[in-house]
Amino acid sequence: MKRMKFPLIKPYLVRKDIQEVTKVLDSGWLTQGKFVEKVEKSLKKDNRVKFAFLLNSATSGLIAGIKALGLERKDEIIIPSFTFPATANSVILGGAKPVFCDIDLETFNLSPEKITALITPQTKAIMPVHEFGLSADMGKIMKIARQHDLFVIEDAACSLGAGYKGKRTGILGDLGVFSFHPRKIVTSGEGGCLITNSSEIAKKIGCLRNHGEYNRKFITYGYNFRMSDIQAAVLYPQLMRINIIVKKRISLALNYNKFLKPLEDKSILKTPVCPQGYKHVYQSYVILLSEKIDRDKLKKFLRAKGVETQFGTHCVPLTDFYKKYFDIPKNSYKNSRYAYEHTLALPLYHTLKMKEQEIIVRELEKSIKKCAR
């Protein structure tokens, strides 16, 4: 595959990080061990939460979370229709049924106004996604959940370090799950973490992660959802510099906002919003293009210039599986469909320079002229 001059992502790993991995390899203890414990301790402290469980992926975390809440086949979980399919898949794998809810086009997050109409006697939970690193409107979502006695599971896969009104995402509901896939804020290659303040949920997650074991007894059946110490060693030094990583992402996003302003003023695109009281960590920097631009053609033009871009994320009810097996009303999920067709993620990684961002925006500007419909 051709290496792009400006790839979409580049994990921020330095030479010193490799020494941490070497320590694990030298120790002979490769599976869940001291490094997993160290990373969990740091995640608990950073997020001011009682329990943190490192896992082999965020998908495993969401599945375990749903199982720990005791949801069953007919139980419904309301999720956004604009997200990565893992959100919906984990609901099915966790034993419940996903119910899609459209998003707000300004924030790309679950539209709280559309949730209530979807609540039925079978609804047991709401699972907001903090898309691209911006918190969903958790104040409104929690209010609806309380009114209808629903659990809230935060799919915080993209939002490690993000904030909502002075609190971190992931601890606003009953439980939250982060991802450490390479496109996320920090990475262990693959990996995830579930956080919660509930000791009841924590006990169940501990069992589900490790074959049903609790206090050295197999009290139930469970999975192997463990993260290895090799992966945790990759993660640990990144978490030690998480504030620097997040600060840099925010400053890069603000540069893009500034450079893209002339195009925004001409209504050619919209830059991402960050409402008052929110802290956006820009896991992805995603713009919304005008209908007049052929987004896929634009992607190709940019690729030819060495700039890798990607569509925002999926309109999951319109993917092959969900379209086939779920009763998807015609012309529904208007905003999710629009976002799927018109969003574009630009390169964003720690070592990206402001001058390079200027070049990327210049190439974008030139290519846009050739991609008008």
Ligand X SMILES: Cc1ncc(COP(=O)(O)O)c(C=O)c1O
User: Does 109 sit near ligand X (CB under 6 A)?
Assistant: no
Q: Which is nearer to ligand X, 161 or 368 (CB)?
A: 161
Smallest gap from residue 167 Cβ to ligand X (A): 19
User: Does 57 sit near ligand X (CB under 6 A)?
Assistant: yes
User: Does 155 sit near ligand X (CB under 6 A)?
Assistant: yes
Distance CA 130, CA 141 (A): 12
- How far are the Cα atoms of 157, 241, 261 from residue 258, in angstroms, in the given order? 27, 26, 5
Among 81, 111, 169, 179, binds ligand X (CB under 6 A): 179
Q: What is the DSSP letter of 228?
A: P
User: Does 228 sit near ligand X (CB under 6 A)?
Assistant: no
Which phi and psi angles does 59 have, rounded to 5°? -60, -45
Among 157, 207, 274, 302, binds ligand X (CB under 6 A): 157
Residues 84-103 that bind ligand X (CB under 6 A): 84, 86-87
Distance CA 234, CA 13 (A): 8
What residues pair up with 146 in beta bridges, in sequence order? none
Distance CA 125, CA 176 (A): 13
**Residue tagged 């500007």 (tokens):** 365
Smallest gap from residue 78 Cβ to ligand X (A): 15
User: Does 58 sit near ligand X (CB under 6 A)?
Assistant: yes
Q: What is the DSSP letter of 2?
A: P
Smallest gap from residue 62 Cβ to ligand X (A): 7
Binding to ligand X by CB under 6 A, coded x per residue (else -) over 110-129, reads -------------------x
Q: Which is nearer to ligand X, 238 or 255 (CB)?
A: 238
Residues 130-149 that bind ligand X (CB under 6 A): none
- Name the residue among 84, 79, 76, 125 with its Cα closest to residue 102: 79
Among 81, 83, 135, 187, binds ligand X (CB under 6 A): 83
Classify 246 as helix, strand or coil: helix
Which phi and psi angles does 294 have, rounded to 5°? -85, 100
Binding site for ligand X (CB under 6 A): 57-59, 83-84, 86-87, 129, 155, 157-158, 179, 181, 192
